[in-house]
């Protein structure tokens, strides 16, 4: 007895069969012949190549693979490695493309890909509307009076609203499509007009918190397709730059929330954690390395991030343990040093209202430029304010060190270095040396300590350090 398979079941079986065959993108790209073209993709701010195809005499080739490609925005690359046009890849990865390099992107046609047909229609609409808005902006700049400017502004608003309405119609009609996910991720919150603010007038605090609280509306942090777009990572950067307080505690809270929401998607969790590690392992602002220490302790050192290479994990471990010892507000590690006459002069024996610790090397070109400037501002200003400079010779040798001190007239510093025997004793005992404790991986490096040897500032240039000293003295007087 033969089994009868319904058309619905047959359709499901065919779909499953296609899903198991990976991707097959048939492409005809004129006028290229007998040459390779490439399929690339976005990965955050980076671009990479996923595949290549050899075009024959008829400009025909195939991008083909046994495994489905991860969803996102891809692009076709010319033999000269120029991006020609973009396309979307999601669940349907068996379709064809015809294009001519002359007249791009209008010369591109897709067959068998509803995602790309929608994407192409949207792109054409967006380009046309965008050009119209651009023309109006030019007219606005040349408007002779306020009345004309107001009229142009009204026309711009109509077009902008039309663009948003078009986007909204797509997300309503195709809620599960990749295009809808992309449009929602690109959407910016619109703050209500002043009349709808508390008390019926504009409130900057309300506007800020409204914008922040709606920044991620419609964006799924478990949708890994967003990783392969050029705008998702910049959106993350904008959020942390403009909307999150720069202090480490606030950043840690926000980072933990994002990582928590993304945990059910391994690729998104990986992308976000790598992004935050790279951002805060060498942060832009002083003190934010505490965020990296937090990430290391909570995710990396606990084994939750098994995707880092052993080499990079070792690098992160060394950096984390270095940074743990010199966080802002913590007591600085003591340094058992000797002066130029080999007499003991440990850091904790220095009594001063403030101490500038300068790690330097007489053979370092940057040190040769910076150290005399530090000495100048010290003699002109800091010394009168009760500041002591504790200069630590990192490398360069005794003779060059003493010669530099003499030639540059660095008379009023406390000049110290570590005896080789002391360094050997620390190493033998398995103790961390001052390089690790102060994260000295380059020179010069400046730290500012208070009278109790707590770290006030670190790794700033001497002008920034001067500002911190002024601020600290001002705060001390006011208290």
d(CA 446, CA 462): 8
Q: For the structural domain made of 347-478, what CATH number should be given?
A: 3.40.30.10
φ, ψ for residue 220, nearest 5 deg: -95, 120
pLDDT at res. 15: 44
The fold for domain 7-112 equals Immunoglobulin-like (2.60.40)
d(CA 270, CA 274): 6
Residue 229, pLDDT > 70, answer yes
pLDDT at res. 477: 67
Read off the pLDDT of each residue in 157-167 and give the average, rounded to a whole number. 92
Residue 178 near residue 91, CB atoms below 8 Å: no
Residue 265, pLDDT > 80, answer yes
Residue 68 near residue 23, CB atoms below 8 Å: yes
**Hey, is 85 helix, strand or coil?**
strand
User: C-alpha 115: how far from its chain's center?
Assistant: 29
**268-317 pLDDT, tens digit each:** 999 999 999 999 999 989 999 999 999 999 999 998 998 999 999 999 99
- Note the pTM of the prediction, 2 decimals: 0.84
């Amino acid at each position: 007895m033969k089994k009868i398979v319904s058309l619905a079941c047959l359709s499901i079986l065919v779909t499953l069969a296609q899903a198991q065959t990976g991707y097959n993108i048939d492409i005809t790209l004129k006028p290229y012949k007998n040459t390779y073209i490439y399929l690339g993709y976005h990965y955050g701010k980076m671009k990479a190549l996923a595949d290549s195809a050899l075009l024959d005499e008829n400009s025909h080739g195939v991008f083909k693979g046994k495994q489905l490609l991860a969803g996102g925005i891809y692009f076709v690359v010319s033999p000269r490695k120029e991006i020609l046009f973009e396309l979307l890849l999601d669940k349907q990865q068996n379709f064809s493309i015809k294009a001519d390099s002359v007249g791009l992107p209008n010369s591109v046609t897709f067959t068998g890909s509803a995602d790309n047909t929608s994407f192409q229609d949207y792109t054409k609409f967006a380009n046309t509307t965008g050009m119209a808005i651009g023309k109006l902006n030019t007219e606005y700049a040349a408007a002779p009076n306020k009345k004309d400017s107001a009229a142009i502004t009204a026309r711009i608003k109509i077009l902008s609203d039309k663009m948003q309405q078009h986007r909204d119609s797509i997300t309503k009609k195709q809620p599960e499509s990749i295009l809808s996910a992309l449009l929602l991720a690109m959407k910016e919150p619109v703050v209500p007009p002043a009349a709808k603010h508390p008390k019926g007038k504009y409130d900057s605090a309300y506007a800020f918190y409204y914008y922040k609280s709606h920044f991620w509306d419609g964006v799924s942090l478990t949708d890994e397709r967003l990783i392969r777009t050029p705008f998702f990572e910049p959106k993350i950067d904008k959020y942390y730059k403009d909307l999150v307080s720069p202090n480490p505690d606030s950043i840690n809270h926000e980072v933990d929330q994002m990582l928590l929401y993304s945990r059910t998607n391994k690729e998104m969790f990986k992308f976000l954690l790598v992004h935050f590690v790279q951002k805060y392992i060498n942060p832009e602002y002083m003190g934010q390395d505490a965020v990296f220490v937090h990430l290391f302790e909570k995710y990396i050192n606990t084994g939750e991030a098994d995707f880092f290479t052993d080499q990079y994990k070792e690098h992160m471990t060394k950096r984390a343990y270095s940074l743990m010892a010199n966080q802002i507000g913590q007591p600085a590690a003591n340094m058992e040093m000797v002066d130029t006459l080999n007499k003991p002069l440990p850091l904790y024996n220095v009594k001063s209202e403030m101490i500038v610790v300068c790690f330097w090397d007489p053979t370092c070109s940057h040190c040769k430029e910076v150290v005399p400037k530090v000495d100048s501002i010290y003699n002109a200003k800091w010394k009168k304010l009760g500041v002591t400079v504790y200069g630590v010779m990192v490398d360069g040798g005794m003779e060059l060190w003493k010669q530099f001190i003499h030639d540059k007239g660095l008379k009023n510093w406390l000049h110290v270095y570590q005896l080789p025997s002391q360094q050997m004793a620390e190493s033998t005992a398995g103790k961390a040396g001052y390089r690790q404790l102060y994260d000295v991986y380059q020179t010069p490096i400046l730290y500012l300590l208070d009278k109790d040897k707590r770290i006030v500032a670190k790794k700033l240039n001497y002008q920034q350090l001067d500002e911190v000293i002024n601020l600290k003295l001002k705060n001390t007087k006011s208290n």
